[in-house]
Amino acid sequence: MQRFHVSATGHSLNYLPEYVAAWQGFFADENLAVSATVPNPWDLVLSELASGQADAVLGGIWVPAMHFGRGTRYTPFAQVSARAPLAIVGRENADEFDWSRLPGKVMSMKGSNGASIGLFAKLLLKEHGVDPRSVGFVQDLDGLLLSRVFVGGMGDYLLIDYPSALALEAAGGGRVVAPLAIEGGNVPWSVYYAQGESNDERLDTQKRFVRALGRGMDWINQHEAERYREFLATTFPRFDPDLLVGVIDVYRAHGMWTTPRIDPSAYERWQGGIADGHLIDRPIGYPDLIDVRVTDGS
C-alpha cells in the first residue's frame, strides 16, 4: 500500500469526499493509504509539503496563485469543494436582507486562517454592485471570538462557515440572511496542490488519488446524509448530528461536490476575486496554474 499524506488547512465539512473515500475504502482500492494532518498555524502545510512529509496540501487556490512566478511553484491538480461553505449572519430577517443595505455597515469575518473569506466577500459585493470600500470589515481575528462579540452587539453582519452560522442561529445569536453555499455561485474553494511539476510516477499517484476522491463525491451524491449519521457524528463531533445531516443535504443539492476537475469558468471568476485582492497582478491562465493532466485524462 502506497502512502499518500495530505496536509490540510482545516478539518471541514466541505472536505467530506476525502473522509468518505477513506471510510468506504476507495483509496485502498487504488492501493493508497491516505492520511491527513491539520498543522497549526495553518501555513505549516507548506513546510510539510517542502519537507516531503506531505504529498499534497488541501486548501485555498489563492496560495498557489499568489506564489506563481514569485518563487516556489505550487501546482493545483484537483478540487474537493466547488462552492464557498459560508453564510452571512445578520440581525434582521432573511427576507429583509439585501446587498444594497451593506454600504455603511460593518461585517466581521475570520481572517486568521487565510485570505479566502475576505476575498470572496469582496467579490460578491462587487458582483452585487456594492463598492467593497463602502463596507467596514473586521478581519484577522478568530471566528469564535468574532462570533461571541457579534452576539454581544459588535457590527452588523458576521461571515462564518455555514454549519457554525446555523448553530449560531439555533442558539438565538443571529439570523442566517445569506447562505452563500446556496447563493454564492461556483468557485474552486478548496483544492489539492503539490510542489513543483509532477513526473510520471507522481502523476500516476495523483490520478489514483483523484479517482478515489471522485468516487467519494459520487457516493455522497447518491446517499442521503441521514443514512450515515453515525459516521458524520464521529467525524464532526462539535456539531449536532441533525445540523450535519441538514447541511450535507443542502450541499448535495447545490453542487458543493461535483467533480474533482477544477471548472475553468469558476476558476476564471475566482481569479478575478484574487486579483482584486491584490494577491496577483492579473488573472493567471487556467493551464498555466493547473496541472490539467490529472483530471483531463492526458
pLDDT tens for 76-103 read 999 999 999 999 999 999 999 999 999 9
Decide: pTM greater than 0.75: yes
> Which residue ranges in the chain fall short of pLDDT 50?
none
* Nearest CA-CA partner of 60 in 89, 33, 81: 81
- What pLDDT, on a 0 to 100 scale, did the predictor assign at position 147? 93
Residue with cell 478540487: 79
Give the closest residue to 39 by CA, choosing from 110, 111, 115, 113. 113
| Per-residue pLDDT at 298 | 53
Residue-level pLDDT at 191: 98
Chain segment 137-182, per-residue pLDDT in tens:
998 888 889 999 999 999 999 999 999 999 999 999 999 999 999 9
Strand, helix or coil at 294?
helix
pLDDT at residue 297, rounded to an integer = 67
Q: Are 43 and 72 in contact (CB under 8 A)?
A: no
Contact yes or no for 75/194 (Cβ under 8 A) = yes
Residues 18, 15: Cα–Cα separation, whole Å: 6
Distances 106 to 136, 150, 152 between C-alpha atoms, Å: 4, 11, 14
Q: Quick one: cell of 271?
A: 481569479
Cβ atoms of 46 and 95 within 8 Å: the answer is: no
